[in-house]
């Protein structure tokens, strides 16, 4: 399964960069996403018919940014793709490109997307 384009649509919805796995740009608000698992979820005659991917969507925002609107818009969109199973948020410290320690809000949404198996 390849749900990348579906997740990439968040870039148009929110107007911020969306990248698989890692973002190396300079924007203060961005999204990364990672496949946590992908496995068959429905069988017929001992053959897999559907796959389910568990995808972690990571929203990064400045600590003083009101992220709730973004979080809700992401959740609402992901719910059109599958089942949102987890949403959590916290502040973490990271080292910027110029070696300064900064704080950032990290919000995680996990979605299960099921699609028919491609032949």
Amino acid 96: pLDDT: 76
**Predicted TM-score of the model (pTM):** 0.91
pLDDT digits (tens, 9 = 90+) for 8-18: 999 999 999 99
Q: What strands lie across the sheet with 83-95, from one edge to the other?
A: 18-20, 30-44, 47-61, 101-116, 83-95
pLDDT digits (tens, 9 = 90+) for 35-79: 999 888 888 888 888 999 999 999 999 999 999 999 999 999 999
Q: Judge whether 113 and 101 are in contact, CB under 8 Å.
A: no
Q: Token pair for residue 101?
A: 């320690």
Amino acid 117: pLDDT: 83
Residue 119 has pLDDT above 70, yes or no: no
DSSP 118: P
Lowest-confidence region among 50-54, 109-113, 114-118: 114-118
């Amino acid at each position: 399964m390849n749900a990348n384009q579906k997740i990439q649509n968040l870039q148009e919805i929110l107007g911020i960069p969306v990248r698989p796995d890692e973002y190396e740009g300079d924007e203060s608000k961005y999204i990364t996403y990672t496949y946590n698992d992908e496995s068959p979820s429905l069988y017929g005659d001992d053959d897999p018919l559907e796959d389910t991917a568990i995808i972690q969507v990571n929203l990064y925002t400045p600590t003083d940014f009101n992220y709730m609107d973004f979080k809700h818009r992401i959740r609402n969109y992901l719910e059109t793709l599958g089942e949102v199973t987890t949403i959590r948020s916290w502040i973490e410290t990271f080292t910027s490109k110029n070696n300064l320690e900064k704080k950032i809000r990290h919000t995680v949404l996990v979605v299960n997307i099921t699609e028919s198996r491609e032949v």
